[in-house]
Structure 1
Amino acid sequence: MATWEVELVVETGLNPKTGKRRQARRRFATIDDAVDAYAKIHTEATAGTFVARSSLTVDQVCQEWLDGRHGLRPKTLAGIATSSSRFEASTALCRSGSSRSSTS
Structure 2
Amino acid sequence: MTSKNHTISKIIAKACLRVLVLLLAFSLYFFFTGDFKQTQSLYFENKSAVIFPILLFFTVITLMVLVLQNKFSKIDFNWFFALSALFLIVYIVLLYTRMYPLL
- The two structures have a TM-score, normalised by structure 2, of 0.31
Higher strand share: 1
Q: Which of the pair has the greater relative contact order for Cα pairs under 8 Å at 6+ separation?
A: 2
**Larger helix fraction of residues:** 2
